[in-house]
Amino acid sequence: MIRRLDHIAIAVPDLARALRLYAEDLGLTLAGTEDVPTESTSTAFFPIEGTRIELVHPMGGQGPIAKYLDKRGGGLHHLCFETDDLDADVARLKEKGWTFLSESARPGAHGSRVIFAHPRSCEGVLIELSEHAKDHP
Ligand code: CO
């Protein structure tokens, strides 16, 4: 079952400028940055009241975020919902006709498991489902 909004991911063409916008202009607190080489993505997290904003930027100018920015420019990239049973939710959504970008869930940050649903399944919005490791809050 989907429990909460884990994060909202924003694709940014200029990470330094976006960090200033979210930290200095909006006044959010940067919790950290992380490069994810397997996804060719640099990320930065701003926690806020039970969820977080995640900036995503192409690492080395390549990968899925670079393609996204070329096609659509910066903006909302995906919503991530935390689920307490990823496999059950995927099965339930597949029954409703949803399609997913991979056959099965992949390892995410902090021992989580994640999977992305195709944007056409949800009115043009890319949806990530994440099941946290049992020993991680
Ligand atoms: Co995400």
Domains of the chain in sequence order:
7-131 (3.10.180.10)
The alpha carbon of 88 and the centre of ligand 1 are apart by a number of angstroms equal to 20
The residues near 4 (Cβ < 8 Å, ≥ 6 apart) are 50, 51, 81, 82
Neighbouring CB atoms inside 10 A of 12's CB total: 23
Beta-strand pair 106-107/113-117: antiparallel
The alpha carbon of 76 and the centre of ligand 1 are apart by a number of angstroms equal to 11
pLDDT of residue 137: 54
Tokens matching residue 14: 């200029």
The alpha carbon of 79 and the centre of ligand 1 are apart by a number of angstroms equal to 7
The alpha carbon of 108 and the centre of ligand 1 are apart by a number of angstroms equal to 9
The alpha carbon of 128 and the centre of ligand 1 are apart by a number of angstroms equal to 6
| Stated pTM of the model | 0.90
Whether 82 and 60 have beta carbons less than 8 Å apart is answered as: no
Residue 136 has pLDDT above 70, yes or no: no
pLDDT of residue 45: 96
> In whole angstroms, what is the distance from residue 50 CA to residue 38 CA?
27
Residue with tokens 């919902």: 81
List the beta bridge partners of residue 9. 54, 78
Q: pLDDT tens across 35-77, in order?
A: 888 888 999 999 999 999 999 999 988 888 999 999 999 999 9
**C-alpha distances out from residue 119 to 44, 56, 78, 123, 130, Å:** 23, 17, 9, 7, 16
The alpha carbon of 96 and the centre of ligand 1 are apart by a number of angstroms equal to 23
Give the closest residue to 126 by CA, choosing from 87, 72, 88.
72
